[in-house]
Amino acid sequence: MNPMPTVLQTLQQPSNAISYYLRLTLREMYPEYSLFETEDGNFYLPPFAGAGLCKLEYREDFEQALTHT
């Protein structure tokens, strides 16, 4: 799946609606996954996954080194 159309559509939204639109779109695109959000600037995903609360996997189709499922 090419995420670029979704990214472009998201960026065309008013600035105060971008995060809402992105959350909504991701939930529609990937209903089998959960979306985790936090405002904690100290949150670090690897220890969270190490506690068995999510699974990390490397995805070649994204430029990010870590994604979580």
Diameter of the chain measured on Cα atoms: 38
pLDDT at 60 > cutoff 80: no
Residues 16 and 44 both lie in one domain: no
Q: Give CA angle at 44 (40, 48), nearest 5°.
A: 105
Residues 24 and 43 both lie in one domain: no
Contacts with 41 (C-beta within 8 Å, 6 or more apart), sequence order: none
pTM: 0.53
Total count of domains within the chain: 2
Residues 25 and 52 both lie in one domain: no
Residues 65 and 48 both lie in one domain: yes
Mean pLDDT (whole number) for 46-61: 82
Residues 51 and 22 both lie in one domain: no
Q: Which domain holds residue 5?
A: 1-33
In this structure, the dihedral spanned by the alpha carbons of residues 20, 25, 26 and 28, taken in order and rounded to 10 degrees, is 130
What is the Cα–Cα distance from 3 to 57, expressed in whole angstroms?
18
What's the pLDDT tens digit per position in 5-31?
Answer: 777 888 888 888 888 888 888 888 888
Residues 41 and 67 both lie in one domain: yes
